A and B are shown apart, each in its own frame.
Chain A
Amino acid sequence: MSARDRNGLSRWTIAALAAPAIAFIGLFYAWPVVALVHRAVTAEAFRTVVHDVSLRRILWFTAWQAAISTAATVVVGLVPAWLLARYEFVGRRFLTALITVPFVLPTVVVGAAFLALLPQSLDQSVVAILVAHVFFNVAVVVRGVGGLWSLLPPDLVGAARTLGASPWRAMREVTLPLLAPAIEASASVVFLFSFTSFGVVRILGGPSHPTLEVEIWERATRLGDVGVAAIVSIIQLVVLGLAVLWFARIQSRHRAAIGLRPLANRRRARGWAERGTVAALSIAVVVAVGTPLAALFERSVRTNAGHSLVAWRAVFGRRQLATGRPTAVSSLDPLGSLFTSLRFALIATVLSVIIGGCASLAIVAMSRTGGRSRLGRALDTGIMLPLGTSAVTIGFGVLVGFSVAPLDWRAAPLLIPLGHALVATPFVVRVLLPTLRSIDPHLRDAASALGASPLRAWREVDMRVMVAPLLTGAGFAAAISLGEFGATTFLTRQGRATLPIAIEQLLARPGAVLHAEGYVLATVLALLTFLVIGAFEGVRSLGDRSG
């Protein structure tokens, strides 16, 4: 038993690196889950759940809307996936980036955009929810399926065609079966997102269409029915856990699939029919992504008498106007929510980068030393757990876990960015791990042979390559924190609303002026999200032009 593996980090260093993540997950994920279970296991609450017909109806609605959202997203997503995988054209990279835009937008912004876009008759309808889910998730399908599609040799379809298959038949017999692993994988992700959708449903669904998530929130915060809410959360936790396991299995099957060679499979469109199709589809994508966002902005400048920047001035000049506000919103400070969000995002980003960065190093170090690789995998899984848990459950758990002595931190403002960091850390780890794993240990050996101490060797080799993915991870973390709604909704206190909370509250209240201010904040949040991701990506790409 050696205290130090060949040129690796010492056992104590690894332990020290893993410690923050373990403490963090233990305190803010495991403890809340324990607290939830503890609160939930009362015969009374259990009886209520079993006999509550409305809960069964809500579960059924949650499931079928998620199923239809998923099916629609896959069907809609296959078209741009095909376009981007098969054709080379001016603006292809732009279009790829554009399709990703809805996915990085906060759910509340997506909800607000469709509230702005759809006619009033569709407000609070299932259609609005489904359309918003497709808009939000389509990037998952385009990225996932398109990635595999671009690797399939187009001549496979050519072979089917010369053997007598019509284009549609070739699609069904050859292309779709070969894409099946990617379709299944992205469909399960979309299903997961749609099943746990909260922000979109809160804004578009209204009280008539609650999903499980909305019901948990409603029962826990509005009705004070904590026991029932806790049981529903736990049921959902189990269902999602199973879904994630299934997803992991599909992914491993995916890797074992046919050997694919990356080829230059994209070609330029030939002839007017093909060129017209490519152009029409490209325009359709631009319109589909752009229209809701344009509607969002348009509503922020719309007044009863034409268009003006009244709402923008009201939000940004608020401090002066504060005395003249209606009392109903006296607790809400739109501009203040912007600063609150920025402050929380900063804390959450720093936290998740430190915790995620250290944990990634520990995971890789452990996996390199045979005996401890299992520990590394366990740590990896532990950090991923919050990803497989709905944001509402996390927020609810934290609320329950920290509302009784000795951990009565309900009033602590830090609880919100801590919750954000819990959701963001898995992303930091996922971005970092592939890079860290790809580092050739021999590089470190070489540094050691040149006289560098293990720590020095590590700093010279590992640190260098970590910078780029760390920045990407930081961008994700900041964007996640800025847009986080589900967990925040449980932890927010008056006068400490974040942007998404303020947006939801403004849009939920009657009054065109308040709505316009809600749309202003949603526009600001959308821009902020682009800015954050763009800025970090920009800095990153300065050093790394491979992507």
Chain B
Amino acid sequence: MADSAVPSGHAPAILSARGICIAFGPRTVLDDVSLDVAEGEIVALLGPSGSGKSTLLRIITGLLRADRGTVELDGRSIDDLPTHRRNIGLVFQDEQLFPHRTVAQNIEFGLRMQRRPRTDRTRRVAELLAVVGLPGFEDRRVTDLSGGEAKRIALARTLAPAPRIVLLDEPLTGLDRELHDQLTVELARLLRETHTTAVLVTHDRDEAAAIADRVVRMEGR
């Protein structure tokens, strides 16, 4: 269950999840959870594993349907909108890069779905590779990337189509300490520089504090 979670400032919420409930068989994972995120705000959902943080992200993206509750984006309910029309980005914990495509093809995937012209896409891919610090990686195979590189490419792929809000599911888990700390700083800078509204799921208190404007605690059930 989340704390009563409203934005710290007075900016209106662009994302608003209300009274979300979901159960898998006999196991209730989310029970009346609500979350508001304001424009440009970076919120961290902090909680132990099994507290339903990732499940909440999946419900917001529409990959999973809640048993009860509603999700609003810019004041309109998106409950009946399929995932691909929601314009909500998700960075998966294990990246989920398309293994049969190059780095550039991964990043431009969302742009192709938006039918952006090729020159436009090429420019945007180069721009994002520069943002995540991997310029010139266009033609690499994603299966050859290191752990840290794959995380950056996954972030670039999610940012490329400029979604209304970016959800990050434990994006820095599974890295060694040094790389983790380095990427934490980078991610915080990067999200701010790109004025991204984001929800970050993590079980690491320091990570949450370093990246987020506001930390919301979720308790395991």
Decide whether A and B are members of one complex. Answer: yes
Q: Which of A's residues lie within 8 Å of B, judged by CB?
A: 153, 155-156, 158-167, 169-170, 173-174, 177-178, 258-259, 268, 270-271
User: With contacts A155-B92, A270-B65 known, is A163 near B100, CB below 8 A?
Assistant: no
Interface residues of B in 61-103 (CB under 8 A from A): 61-65, 82-90, 92, 94, 96-100
- Chain B residues whose C-beta falls within 8 Å of the C-beta of A158 in the assembled complex: 58, 61, 63, 83, 90, 92, 96
User: With contacts A174-B98, A177-B100, A258-B143 known, is A161 near B83, CB below 8 A?
Assistant: yes
Q: Do A178 and B99 touch (CB < 8 A)?
A: yes
B157 proximal to A (CB < 8 A): yes
B171 proximal to A (CB < 8 A): no
Contact residue among A163, A258, A268, A270 (Cβ-Cβ distance under 8 Å from B157): A163
Starting from the known contacts A159-B92, A164-B87, 18 additional A-B residue pairs (CB-CB under 8 Å) come to: A158-B96, A159-B97, A161-B61, A161-B63, A161-B82, A162-B61, A162-B88, A163-B110, A163-B158, A164-B85, A164-B113, A164-B161, A166-B84, A169-B84, A170-B84, A258-B100, A268-B24, A270-B64
Q: Do A164 and B90 touch (CB < 8 A)?
A: no
Q: Do A159 and B84 touch (CB < 8 A)?
A: no
A464 to B181 alpha-carbon distance, docked (Å): 54
Q: Do A165 and B84 touch (CB < 8 A)?
A: yes
- Chain B residues whose C-beta falls within 8 Å of the C-beta of A155 in the assembled complex: 92, 94, 96
A258 to B96 alpha-carbon distance, docked (Å): 13
Contact residue among A153, A165, A271 (Cβ-Cβ distance under 8 Å from B113): A165
- Chain A residues whose C-beta falls within 8 Å of the C-beta of B62 in the assembled complex: 161
Which of B58, B63, B99 is packed against the most chain A CB atoms within 10 Å? B99
B109 proximal to A (CB < 8 A): yes
B114 proximal to A (CB < 8 A): yes
User: With contacts A258-B143, A259-B143 known, is A166 near B90, CB below 8 A?
Assistant: no
- Chain B residues whose C-beta falls within 8 Å of the C-beta of A174 in the assembled complex: 98
- Chain A residues whose C-beta falls within 8 Å of the C-beta of B90 in the assembled complex: 158-159, 162
B26 proximal to A (CB < 8 A): no
Q: Do B98 and A161 touch (CB < 8 A)?
A: no
- Chain A residues whose C-beta falls within 8 Å of the C-beta of B143 in the assembled complex: 258-259
Q: Do B25 and A163 touch (CB < 8 A)?
A: no
- Chain A residues whose C-beta falls within 8 Å of the C-beta of B85 in the assembled complex: 164
A155 to B90 alpha-carbon distance, docked (Å): 11
Majority secondary structure of chain A interface residues (helix, strand, loop or mixed): helix
Interface residues of B in 104-159 (CB under 8 A from A): 109-110, 113-114, 143, 157-158
Which of B61, B63, B82 is packed against the most chain A CB atoms within 10 Å? B63
Task: Please encode chain B, from 177 to 188, with 1 for each CB lying within 8 Å of some chain A CB and 0 for all others.
Answer: 000000000000
A488 to B54 alpha-carbon distance, docked (Å): 61
Q: Do A159 and B94 touch (CB < 8 A)?
A: no
- Chain A residues whose C-beta falls within 8 Å of the C-beta of B92 in the assembled complex: 155, 158-159
Minimum CB–CB distance for B167 against chain A, Å: 8
Q: Do A156 and B89 touch (CB < 8 A)?
A: no
User: With contacts A155-B94, A258-B143 known, is A163 near B113, CB below 8 A?
Assistant: yes
Contact residue among B63, B64, B99, B161 (Cβ-Cβ distance under 8 Å from A258): B99
CB-CB nearest in chain B for A164: B113
Q: Do B25 and A268 touch (CB < 8 A)?
A: yes
Minimum CB–CB distance for A268 against chain B, Å: 7
- Chain B residues whose C-beta falls within 8 Å of the C-beta of A258 in the assembled complex: 99-100, 143
Contact residue among B24, B64, B109 (Cβ-Cβ distance under 8 Å from A163): B109
A347 to B100 alpha-carbon distance, docked (Å): 50
Minimum CB–CB distance for B26 against chain A, Å: 12
A177 to B158 alpha-carbon distance, docked (Å): 21
Q: List 12 A-B contacts (CB under 8 A).
A: A153-B96, A158-B96, A159-B96, A161-B61, A161-B63, A162-B158, A163-B109, A163-B110, A164-B114, A167-B84, A169-B84, A271-B65
Task: Please encode chain B, from 183 to 207, with 1 for each CB lying within 8 Å of some chain A CB and 0 for all others.
Answer: 0000000000000000000000000
Minimum CB–CB distance for A277 against chain B, Å: 14
CB-CB nearest in chain A for B154: A159
Q: Do B161 and A156 touch (CB < 8 A)?
A: no
CB-CB nearest in chain A for B92: A155
CB-CB nearest in chain A for B114: A164
Minimum CB–CB distance for B113 against chain A, Å: 3
CB-CB nearest in chain B for A160: B109
- Chain B residues whose C-beta falls within 8 Å of the C-beta of A177 in the assembled complex: 100
- Chain B residues whose C-beta falls within 8 Å of the C-beta of A156 in the assembled complex: 96, 98
A161 to B58 alpha-carbon distance, docked (Å): 12
- Chain B residues whose C-beta falls within 8 Å of the C-beta of A167 in the assembled complex: 82, 84
CB-CB nearest in chain A for B109: A163
Q: Do B83 and A162 touch (CB < 8 A)?
A: yes
Minimum CB–CB distance for A308 against chain B, Å: 50
A339 to B10 alpha-carbon distance, docked (Å): 89
Minimum CB–CB distance for B114 against chain A, Å: 6
